[in-house]
Each structure stands twice: as C-alpha cells, then as structure tokens.
A and B are shown apart, each in its own frame.
Chain A
C-alpha cells in the first residue's frame, strides 16, 4: 500500500476508515462492542444484526469492511454465516472477526476453516478487540484464546 508523502505509516493507519458490522444476538453485547469501537478515530459501526441471516442481508445493504460475528445465534449461527460470507469476500475484501464465548482451539480452528480472519473470546474482548479489528481490516490473521497468548500474523 502507498502512504501519502510526509505522513508516518502509524498516523495514516489510525486515520484509515473501517466500516464495521456488529452481529450478536444480545443487544447489550453489541452495545458494549460499539462503545469500544467507536472510540477509535475513523472507525464506524455501520449497522447491527442479531443473527446470521440478518447479517447476510445487512452486508448487502451496508457494505462493511469487517464483520464482528458471534458464534452461537438463532436462525443461522456464526459459522454458517461465515461460510456464506466467503463467497462475497473474494470480490469485496470483506473480513470476518469472531468474538465469542467459546474459548476452544477446536472452535477457533472451525472458525478459521470457515473463512474467518480473526478469533477472540468475549472474556478478553476489551483487551483484544481493537487490535483484532485493526489486523483483520488489513487482511492479517489475529487469534487470541483466553488460555494462550495472542497470535497475530
């Protein structure tokens, strides 16, 4: 990527706009995620969805860069939604970051196999979320289970 002359890479990164769709069946969790994300200059929560089906509809209308996705949801769970999103990702660069209760290497593996770029657990979301969104918005993998140190590539 080319950065404007005279600006450091860090300053430019912080100004890069990221459009984020929040998907979780608990409105109170979505509110908590929003308060974290909206503190970051240039990032915008463009919409919310309460299940995987609604997420797919909102992706079409809102065109986010990153989908922050829960796993366990009614109607369509996050893993199924992520697989469906993959078809869209190839043309638009859309990335999926899971934020979930499931602190499980097996579930994380499933999420990454489904096409997610990131996976963090809700118990550490306040610590990991911003770095995770930054990483996946730049198409880098970010995973962090509560039981092991974070890993970002």
Chain B
C-alpha cells in the first residue's frame, strides 16, 4: 500500500515542486493538495493521509495552528512543517505544536524525502540546528510547555488565534465572520477580547504582534537602491 501524503502550501508553484519531488519515490502518493490551513484540516479529516506536509506561512490558518488542530483532532497524524526560517521561536512552536518533522523550504529539495522516510519509519526528522536545541536540553523536564499550546500566547483561545490571523491579514470583521461561519457580532467580541488580553490598541499593533509571534509570516524585500548616475550603462 502506498504512503499517502497531503501537501499544504499556499503557492501552487511550490506544491508542484513538492509533488514532482515526492512522486519520484516509488511507493508514495500525493493524495491531496491544500492551499490554506483550513482546507488542509478538512482534507486531512476526509483523506486520512499518512503524512501531512504543511507550510508555516499560509493564509486563513497558518501551519503551526493547522498542526495543533490536526493533532487535537487525531494525535496519530504525522506532520512535517515547512518553513522559511529556523529561528528559536519557530522551532519551539513547531515542536510544541506536535510536528514530527521540521524542514527549511530552502533545503526541501535535499531534506524532504529524508523527512518523509523518517516519519514512514516512525522516526522524527529535524534540521541539524533543531537537533542541537534538543540535545541542549530544550525538551527537558524544566520546559514547562505542554503539547499543542502556543507558548507565547497562553491567554488566547484557538478561535481567538484564528481571528487574530485573519484580522492581521487585513480581513474585515464581516469577512472574518464569513470565513469562520460566525456572526459579525461574535467576531467583534473576539476582536475586543483579543485586544484587551494582549493590551493592543490598534490593528497595526495586532499586525506587529502577529508577525512577532509567527501567526503570519512576511518576507522582507531587498532594500531598494537606485543606481547612481555613474553606474548607469
């Protein structure tokens, strides 16, 4: 029986690359593709894949929250997180969310097959940097974070994190309500609670908070420099 893999990344071009890489492996099959976290959750529940590969930076529901919710639904899911950064905070959150694999996107062509093979053999797969953190005692008894709880957001509920991401992505309360099948009034209540709990005073504060806590990810453009007159051809 083939190993069934669900891919979740908001860029179709990345999913195509991942598919091309994974389907070269005899015995593996990409059983579905999702373009955001909510779709990934629904598809995982329907398709019951053996491995789920999630990009951290997806709209509507990011990869870390997708991982948490997947494992809350069924702890037997095996999740590999794909990320553009291996900062301490991202690593910590991925481990705490329950991911069994952690792969940098820039190294996916090199590492992803090994990661899936590891999970197939009931092992975990992490980049060397993550292994160093684990060896340094990151997961020792003193680490007071329980599985599936975001370490830096102890006061936000799962729903509040979902609302935080959507608002930080620029959605209005009405749009958030439509996406989450809630009333606008309920979203407004969540918004007020979020702002109060986190002591935020504006949407701009909320966006900054969401970026700092990996609820949304942004890629900084290179500093735009205009050539001087002397360098123009």
Contact = CB atoms under 8 A, between A and B. Distances in A.
- Interface of B, secondary structure class, is helix
B227 interface: yes
Interface in B1-36: 10-21
Interface in A26-80: 26-36, 71-72, 77-79
A87 B232 CA distance: 10
A24 to B, nearest CB: 10
Interface string B172-209: 00000000000000000000000000000000000000
Given A26-B108, A36-B13, A125-B12, A31 B224 contact: no
A66 to B, nearest CB: 16
B227 A83 contact: yes
A110 interface: yes
Interface residues of A, number: 33
Interface of A: 25-36, 71-72, 77-79, 83, 86-87, 99, 101-102, 104, 106-107, 110, 113, 122-123, 125-126, 129
What are the 7 closest A-B residue pairs judged by CB atoms, nearest first? Answer: A32-B17, A27-B109, A31-B17, A32-B16, A126-B12, A32-B13, A28-B17
Interface of B: 10-21, 105-106, 108-110, 112, 219-222, 224-227, 233
26 contacts: A26-B105, A26-B106, A27-B106, A27-B110, A28-B18, A28-B105, A29-B17, A30-B17, A31-B20, A32-B12, A32-B15, A32-B16, A32-B17, A32-B18, A35-B16, A35-B19, A35-B20, A71-B222, A72-B220, A78-B222, A79-B222, A101-B219, A107-B221, A113-B226, A123-B10, A126-B12
